């Protein structure tokens, strides 16, 4: 299934939905009984872990796209720790563990070695969390982009250093409470004006492919992996993966929270080729940012003991800016909206 292609699902008499009439070419990789199961049972992720879900879909799709010939290079972080407790592993593909900040360099080295050996059939996927990607590994990643190394690098963004105790990272959003940005003072939580957007930084390198996705759109995620694996050169995929432990959300709400991030405009979902946005996932049912913030304990201080309407309004303006910048309501980019207004259903 190509990225952005819509598939019609039908109610099947219960709370489930499906479409048994889909041909094999439109079915998801996870619907294939012969799927790779690249990340299989036995890992020790928390219940409801968005990263475990995202990684399984990404690598199964990569395996299918490459005919099972994939080497994964993994930075230190949650994904590495919960999947490879010595002497065990949950990975069913060639898998290398690198340091916290050099996974892009190691992946580039693997790709170079394969090129020297003439193995164009074997593909390389690098992966890490936001700490190892947005912060510690940024220099190595930028070098990988600049050299246009033949690597698909995937960042599983849970917006903090979750493995070491929920400390702030460069991807932590403003006002979010972490162990190092406590909910105290006049402007509690992570400060406004800090951090960085790695997808925009990747686009500035004008690499062949940049995309964002969430675990609320798993078919979209698979499609983007297939599109990226059909290209050569440096490619970057940034996946929002909510963390129930660090975000203070119910383990059953991971997909719902990811969808609210997308539908509020705080996490724009798009694709870019050679530095230019080529496609966006439009918001189907726009929600105010408050609907996304309230279920998360990391934002509890914005609502108790008294609502911080001024801070919430500032976050809403950031979402509005994303909506205008990427045209997420189907309007041409750049038409900045005014006050929040409900999109047509």
Separation of CA 245 from chain center: 17
Closest to 199 in 3D by CA, of 271, 100, 104: 271
The predicted pLDDT at position 335 comes to 47
**Distance between CA atoms of residues 97 and 75, nearest Å:** 6
Name the pLDDT band for 188 (thresholds 50, 70, 90).
very high
CA torsion, points 79, 85, 90, 92, in degrees to nearest 10? 100
Q: Provide the percentage of residues in the chain whose pLDDT is more than 90.
A: 83
Mean pLDDT, residues 193-206: 97
Mean pLDDT, residues 130-137: 97
pTM to 2 decimals? Answer: 0.91
pLDDT digit string, tens, across residues 243-300 = 999 999 999 999 999 999 999 999 999 999 999 999 999 999 999 999 999 999 999 9
The predicted pLDDT at position 336 comes to 44
pLDDT digit string, tens, across residues 230-243 = 999 999 999 999 99
Average pLDDT, the chain: 92
Q: What does the buried/exposed string (b/e) look like for 104-132 if buried means 16 or more CB atoms within 10 Å of the residue's CB?
A: bbbbbbbbeebeeeeeeebbbbbbbbbbb
pLDDT digit string, tens, across residues 16-60 = 556 666 777 777 888 888 899 999 988 999 999 999 999 999 999
pLDDT digit string, tens, across residues 328-339 = 998 766 544 444
**152-157 vs 235-240, strand pairing mode:** parallel
Rounded (10°) angle between helices 254-264 and 50-65: 80
**Distance between CA atoms of residues 229 and 223, nearest Å:** 10
- Given a contact cutoff of 8 angstroms between Cβ atoms, the answer to whether 208 and 235 are in contact is yes
The predicted pLDDT at position 244 comes to 98
Task: Answer yes or no: is pLDDT of 3 > 90.
Answer: no
**Distance between CA atoms of residues 278 and 147, nearest Å:** 23
Name the pLDDT band for 314 (thresholds 50, 70, 90).
very high
Q: Which tops the pLDDT comparison, 16 or 214?
A: 214
The predicted pLDDT at position 63 comes to 97
- Given a contact cutoff of 8 angstroms between Cβ atoms, the answer to whether 175 and 190 are in contact is yes
């Amino acid at each position: 299934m190509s990225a952005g292609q819509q598939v019609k699902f039908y109610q099947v008499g219960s709370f489930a939905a499906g479409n048994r009439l889909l041909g094999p070419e439109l079915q998801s990789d996870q619907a294939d009984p012969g799927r790779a199961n690249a990340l299989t049972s036995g890992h020790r992720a928390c219940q409801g872990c968005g990263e475990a879900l995202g990684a399984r879909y990404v690598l199964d799709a990569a395996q299918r796209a490459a005919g099972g010939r994939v080497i994964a290079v993994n930075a230190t972080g949650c994904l590495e720790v919960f999947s490879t407790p010595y002497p065990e592993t949950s990975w069913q593909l060639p898998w290398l563990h690198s340091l916290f900040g050099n996974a892009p360099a190691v992946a580039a080295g693997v790709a170079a070695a394969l090129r020297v050996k003439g193995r164009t059939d074997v593909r390389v996927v690098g992966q890490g969390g936001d700490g190892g990607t947005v912060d510690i590994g940024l220099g190595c990643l930028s070098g990988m982009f600049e050299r246009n190394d033949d690597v698909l690098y995937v960042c599983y963004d849970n917006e903090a250093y979750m493995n070491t105790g929920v400390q702030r990272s460069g991807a932590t959003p403003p006002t979010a409470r972490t162990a190092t940005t406590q909910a105290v003072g006049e402007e509690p939580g992570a400060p406004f004006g800090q951090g960085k957007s790695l997808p925009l930084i990747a686009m500035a390198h004008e690499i062949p492919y940049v995309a964002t996705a969430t675990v609320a759109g798993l078919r979209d995620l698979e499609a983007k992996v297939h599109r990226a694996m059909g290209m050569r050169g440096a490619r970057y995929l940034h996946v929002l993966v909510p963390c129930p432990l660090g975000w203070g959300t119910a383990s059953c709400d991971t997909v719902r929270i990811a969808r609210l991030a997308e539908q509020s405009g705080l996490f724009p979902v798009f694709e870019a080729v050679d530095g230019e946005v080529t496609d966006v996932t439009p918001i189907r049912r726009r929600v105010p940012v408050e609907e996304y913030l309230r279920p998360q304990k990391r934002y509890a201080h914005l609502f108790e003991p008294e609502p911080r309407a001024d801070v919430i309004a500032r976050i809403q303006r950031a979402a509005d800016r994303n909506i205008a910048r990427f045209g997420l309501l189907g309007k041409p980019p750049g038409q900045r909206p005014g006050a929040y207004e409900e999109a047509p259903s």
